[in-house]
Chain A
Amino acid sequence: MSQGEHRNPVESFLRMDRMPHIWCPGCGIGIVVNCFVRALLKSKIDVDSVSVVSGIGCTGRIAGYFKVDSFHTTHGRPIPFATGLKTARPDMNIVVLSGEGDLIAIGGNHFIHAARRNVDIKVICVNNFTYAMTGGQVGPTAPLHSIATTAPYGSHERPFNLPFLAESSGATYVARWTTYHVRQLTKAMVDVLNKPGFCFVEAIAPCPTIYQRRNRMGDGLEMMRFYREHSRIANGADTRSLDIEMGGEIVVGKFIDRDRPTYLEAMDEELSKRLGNRYVPYPTGVKR
């Protein structure tokens, strides 16, 4: 690169030798990556303290593109891998960036249990409503009646409402934004980077090639227009009211921001109470 040429500030966080990336034109995952980098910059967090963990799928590829310590795990397992990283290195900021098929279907059990025990990891879930990497099968958030390769006349299964699932499982922070809401999405990521406990951000993202094409929802730009016209910001909304229907309103916002002891803090507290001086507290300090 010649001197004086402008570089995108995002580039220094990415493995540019891996470019071009594999994501399709109009895909929302790149926007999420962009927001996350900007959140890292804004939060002034020590980047060397950040580790990105992702699973399998389109979003799973994020771990390979981030120029931080990253872990591209097996399908569905980024949360337990991240729990391992966090438990062995409580000083690190562990961020899971993965898709809804990975985190909520095959990895769903890990999701609810990590939230239940309040493991201090940040989970950013790109929700594009389908298993895009394998060609568009029906997934755990696919809206009722949406078309998928394994639901050729529309899904008849009830989808998960992710903020409700996260809240009821015990997450300390729950937000949902679309990739149209780049500032709010970035802000949510800054929030969670500074907040202890199991924090969850749902990033609703376009998938023009797989999900939208099959459901005749237009291209990436049209989906951004849809998000602009059909999203309603309702911070603090009851998460039970956040179901997503085909072509329906998408309620976005910050829904939950609460405090409770993290997994390691709870362990320290309980064992200190029981064992007194005999207990050596677990090092839990985080570089935030």
Chain B
Amino acid sequence: METRTGMEASIAIAEAVCLCDADIVAAYPITPQTHIVEHLSELVADGKLHANFVPVESEHSAMSVCCGTSAVGARTYTATASQGLALMHEILFIAPALRLPIVMSVANRSLSGPISIWNDHSDVMAERDIGWVQIFAENAQQALDLTIWAFRLAEDRRVSLPVMVNFDGFILSHTIEPVLMPDKETVQAYLPPFEPLLRLDVDAPVSMGPVGIPDIYTETHHVQQVLLTDAYGPIVETLDAFGKHFGREYKPVETYRADDAEVLLLTMGALGETAMEAVDLRRERGQKVGLLRLRLWRPFPFEDLYRAVGRRPVLGVMDRAISYGGPYGPVASEIKAAFYHREQRPRVVEFVAGLGGRDVPISDFDTMFDALFDTLETGRVPEPRLVGLRE
């Protein structure tokens, strides 16, 4: 049974966490994540979610509390954004190293300075290498679904790693959308009770987080790399199971009208939905454009990307952050690296758009598609460009 209703992505996520019976929520207020934990604290206060809500004094404390509760075997959830995610940075590395299956929503928001509360992906891109599973939602339904999935994947004993569900701040967090809300029985049938792989237990004492001397540090990091890479199998498996169970399919890389496309554009997050509109409009004009939506960011879905791109000669990548002084778009640079050793590789055209809440209208996607067709005709790859930059 599921109920069709309208709600903010933030509220939908909170309801999903409630359906998943989280034991602990520890969070600090930060825009635009706050509605999630506000709603969760209401659910806890009303007795609908039998959990402890810890209103900690900073995000650094939030993630630290999460590590503590997860270490004793509590199903643990938090949410943050932007500066809050950055403040967690130190602890973010600890959770996967200790195999703590924490689930966190990140309402993606730009980083200071200048101070900006608005949406882009500079927060998550700065946390690329923390060792978490990282996935992106494009709408409220996906944000809800992927939250439920995140607990299942994180707690899968083959994985036992923290999972970050990214959803765009304001564009999704504060927008009311229609969602299909599953009922508790259906969620429980998908999400088994949490059986921790490792836990602090007085009957079988272990130490978590001790020093890794040079003799062992390399091996621990090798294990982390292997674990996160190998999480790919369980990720696909649990997403497939989600599809069978709830009737909504998710893939590490998803496509839109890409089969016969001459040029492809790759997006991550909510702007993929605007891009789909832009693709439709181009298609009406007889132009064969298509879209790739990179849903799974870590572990990076190399094979899915290769399959989705196929033999197409031009691939545009729209980044929502800049790697300053480096290869410009962080996603584009990874895409290029992924193809470097391939015989069949597309020309990659880099765009950065929608920084700090700058609107990305259909016309900006037209600019990008024009550039892709230009590369298709001439074979020339333009310099990376900031779409919508005011001169």
Chain A residues at the B interface, C-beta cutoff of 8 Å? 56, 72, 74-76, 105-106, 108, 131, 133-135, 137-138, 140, 149-153, 157
Chain B residues, CB < 8 A from A56 = 83, 115
Contact B45 A137 (CB under 8 A): no
Chain B residues, CB < 8 A from A131 = 29
Task: Kindly identify which residue among B35, B57, B83 contacts A108, using a CB–CB cutoff of 8 Å.
Answer: B57
Give Cα A131–Cα B55 distance, bound, in whole angstroms: 12
Chain A residues, CB < 8 A from B37 = 137, 150
Give a binary string over B24-58; 1 marks a CB under 8 Å from any A CB, 0 the rest: 00001111001101100110011000000101011
Task: Kindly identify which residue among B34, B45, B83, B115 contacts A135, using a CB–CB cutoff of 8 Å.
Answer: B34
Give Cα A212–Cα B262 distance, bound, in whole angstroms: 59
Give a binary string over B271-285; 1 marks a CB under 8 Å from any A CB, 0 the rest: 000000000000000
- Name 6 extra pairs, CB < 8 A, besides A105-B58, A149-B34: A106-B28, A131-B29, A134-B29, A137-B55, A140-B57, A153-B45
B112 CB–A CB distance under 8 Å: yes
Give Cα A167–Cα B19 distance, bound, in whole angstroms: 47
Contact A151 B29 (CB under 8 A): no
Of the candidates B35, B41, B45, B55, the one having the most CB atoms from chain A within 10 angstroms of its own CB is B55
**Cross-chain pair count, CB within 8 angstroms:** 51
Chain B residues, CB < 8 A from A133 = 31
Contact A134 B31 (CB under 8 A): yes
Contact B28 A138 (CB under 8 A): no
B interface SS class: mixed
Give Cα A133–Cα B53 distance, bound, in whole angstroms: 21
Task: Kindly identify which residue among A72, A108, A152 contacts B45, using a CB–CB cutoff of 8 Å.
Answer: A152
Task: Kindly identify which residue among B38, B46, B115 contacts A137, using a CB–CB cutoff of 8 Å.
Answer: B38
Chain A residues, CB < 8 A from B58 = 76, 105-106
What's the nearest-Cβ distance from chain B to residue A84, in Å?
Answer: 16
Task: Kindly identify which residue among B31, B38, B57, B112 contacts A149, using a CB–CB cutoff of 8 Å.
Answer: B38
Chain A residues, CB < 8 A from B83 = 56, 74-75
Q: Closest B-chain residue to A61, C-beta based?
A: B115
Give the 3 A-B residue pairs with the shortest CB-CB distance, closest first. Answer: A134-B29, A106-B58, A150-B41
The answer to whether A152 and B41 touch (CB under 8 A), given A72-B115, A108-B57, A138-B55, is yes
Contact A134 B57 (CB under 8 A): no
Contact A150 B38 (CB under 8 A): yes
What's the nearest-Cβ distance from chain A to residue B193, in Å?
Answer: 27
Contact A149 B28 (CB under 8 A): no
| Interface pairs (25), CB distance under 8 Å | A72-B115, A74-B83, A74-B112, A75-B30, A76-B58, A105-B57, A106-B28, A106-B57, A134-B30, A135-B34, A135-B35, A135-B38, A149-B41, A149-B42, A150-B29, A150-B37, A150-B38, A150-B55, A151-B41, A151-B45, A151-B55, A152-B45, A152-B46, A153-B45, A157-B55
Give Cα A140–Cα B83 distance, bound, in whole angstroms: 20
Of the candidates A133, A140, A157, the one having the most CB atoms from chain B within 10 angstroms of its own CB is A133
What's the nearest-Cβ distance from chain A to residue B61, in Å?
Answer: 9
Give Cα A153–Cα B47 distance, bound, in whole angstroms: 12
Q: Closest A-chain residue to B31, C-beta based?
A: A134
What's the nearest-Cβ distance from chain A to residue B53, in Å?
Answer: 7
Give Cα A74–Cα B117 distance, bound, in whole angstroms: 12
Give Cα A138–Cα B53 distance, bound, in whole angstroms: 12
Q: Closest A-chain residue to B115, C-beta based?
A: A72
What's the nearest-Cβ distance from chain A to residue B365, in Å?
Answer: 33
What's the nearest-Cβ distance from chain B to residue A210, in Å?
Answer: 12
Give a binary string over B155-176; 1 marks a CB under 8 Å from any A CB, 0 the rest: 0000000000000000000000
What's the nearest-Cβ distance from chain A to residue B157, in Å?
Answer: 33
Give Cα A72–Cα B87 distance, bound, in whole angstroms: 17
Chain B residues, CB < 8 A from A153 = 45
Contact A134 B55 (CB under 8 A): no
Chain A residues, CB < 8 A from B53 = 150
Chain B residues, CB < 8 A from A140 = 57
Give Cα A209–Cα B46 distance, bound, in whole angstroms: 24
Give Cα A151–Cα B115 distance, bound, in whole angstroms: 28
Q: Closest B-chain residue to A140, C-beta based?
A: B57
What's the nearest-Cβ distance from chain B to residue A99, in Å?
Answer: 12
Q: Closest B-chain residue to A138, C-beta based?
A: B55
Give Cα A149–Cα B31 distance, bound, in whole angstroms: 14
Give Cα A105–Cα B84 distance, bound, in whole angstroms: 14
Contact A152 B29 (CB under 8 A): no
Q: Closest B-chain residue to A60, C-beta based?
A: B115
Chain A residues, CB < 8 A from B42 = 149, 152
The answer to whether A134 and B34 touch (CB under 8 A), given A56-B115, A150-B55, A151-B55, is yes
Q: Closest B-chain residue to A131, C-beta based?
A: B29
Chain B residues, CB < 8 A from A137 = 29, 34, 37-38, 55
Chain B residues, CB < 8 A from A150 = 29, 37-38, 41, 53, 55
What's the nearest-Cβ distance from chain A to residue B167, in Å?
Answer: 18
Chain A residues, CB < 8 A from B41 = 149-152
What's the nearest-Cβ distance from chain A to residue B356, in Å?
Answer: 16
Q: Closest A-chain residue to B30, C-beta based?
A: A134
